[in-house]
Amino acid sequence: MPARWNPAINRRAFVMSLAGAALVPARDVDTIQQGKVGMFGLIGKMTAAAGQRDALIAILLEGTGTMPGCLSYVVALDRDDPDAIWITEVWKDEASHRASLSLPAVRDAIAMARPLIAGFSNQVTTTPVGGQGL
């Protein structure tokens, strides 16, 4: 079969024409619209009480180490705001996230963290559809 009939190449060409050059097999479009496996995501900013960011992060990391259904839980410093922490989460589904809030380690972490938190903002609820590291 000549190289020009390679299905991968044709698929690419087909979708490129759709997207003004994009690559979108129909199967992938379905996946995108529905979320690959009903994944659930959260992005949010937590602002620590002044000077408490490191202590707060240590509690977050300690309390969230083993949560069933958690595919990713990344705690990150904001490079421009010395009190801000960004937490980005990917869960197998929304029920797993809800269930995590009842885990003893998570409940303990919430109780310990509360006095160190000045506020929450920039919260977004997402449907993760794919990517590297999931």
Q: How far is the CB of 1 from its own copies (least distance, A)?
A: 23
- Judged by beta carbon, residue 2 or residue 35, the one nearer its own copies is 35
Alpha carbons 10 and 17: distance in angstroms, whole number: 11
The dihedral through the CA atoms of 98, 101, 104, 109 has a sign that is: positive
- Amino acid identity of residue 93, one-letter, is D
35 binds its own copies (CB under 8 A): yes
- State whether residue 19 is helix, strand or coil: coil
Residues 6+ apart with CB under 8 A from 92: 37, 38, 39, 40, 69, 70, 71
Out of 52, 93, 96, 106, the only residue in the binding site for its own copies (CB under 8 A) is 52
Restricting to residues 14-33, name those near its own copies by CB under 8 A. 15-16, 18-25, 28-29, 32-33
Alpha carbons 104 and 86: distance in angstroms, whole number: 23
Q: How far is the CB of 2 from its own copies (least distance, A)?
A: 23
The residue ranges that bind its own copies (CB under 8 A) are 15-16, 18-25, 28-29, 32-33, 35, 39, 41, 43, 52-59, 61-62, 64-67, 70-80, 86, 88, 90, 111-113, 115-116, 122, 124-134
